A = this chain, B = another copy of it.
Amino acid sequence: MANTAKHNRDEVIQKATMLFWEKGFHSTSMRDLQDRIDMRPGSIYAAFGSKEGLFKEALKFYVENSFEKLEGCTKEYSPLRALKQFFVSVVICNDEQRPTEVCMLVKTLTELPPENAELIEEAKGYLKGMEDLFASLLTQAQEEGELDSSKDTRRLARYLQMQLMGLRTYARTNADKESVKQLIDDVFESIRF
């Protein structure tokens, strides 16, 4: 638990997150993790309890980063434009080292069998939180006159969440960035009416 340990805890979690995000929970072995974060089994288990425990920390880290990213966009853009910018940065840009276009939460939800019910519920909860954030941004957009006030923001938020899942997964199958960018335009065009 001590941050004075040889391995800075946050740094370790970040590295583990990237690996889990890339390969998924089951395809990432403890051996893979040991190599990536440069820790031996004993240390990992002392710090995180289990592979599942470390994965939970990774999910948390991933979501916190996503929240920060979206909030960063709202500092630069109007609510609606911030959402679109967030979509673009998450679906297309790979200036940083993004291991895959697919959302880690969605990947978790998709790959895990019912045996890992606890992790599944965790991922579902985080996705719900993201949808709530979308909704509050949409409400804000209404207040600022950027979005038609007659719209149901909860419904729109669901719509956007669904779109983002589709966009990211589609981007995984299709390397052509131009057509993906086109799709994002289509999506944000469609919510105007």
Question: What total of chain A residues lie within 8 Å of the partner, measured CB to CB?
Answer: 38
Pairwise interchain contact A24-B162, C-beta atoms closer than 8 A = no
Which of A109, A110, A174 has the largest count of B CB atoms less than 10 A from its CB?
A110
- Segment at the interface with B among A1-9, A140-148, A165-173: A165-173
Pairwise interchain contact B166-A169, C-beta atoms closer than 8 A = yes
Q: Please classify the interface of chain A as helix (H, G, I), strand (E, B), loop, or mixed, using the class held by over half of its residues.
A: helix
- Segment at the interface with B among A65-73, A75-83, A153-161: A153-161
Contact of A162 among B107, B161, B167, B193 (CB under 8 A): B167
Does residue A52 face the partner (Cβ distance < 8 Å to B)?
no
For residue A124, give the distance in angstroms from its CB to the closest CB of chain B: 5
The contact string, 1 if C-beta is below 8 Å from chain B, for chain A 5-22, is 000000000000000001
Pairwise interchain contact A173-B111, C-beta atoms closer than 8 A = no
The contact string, 1 if C-beta is below 8 Å from chain B, for chain A 109-142, is 1111101000000001001100000000000000
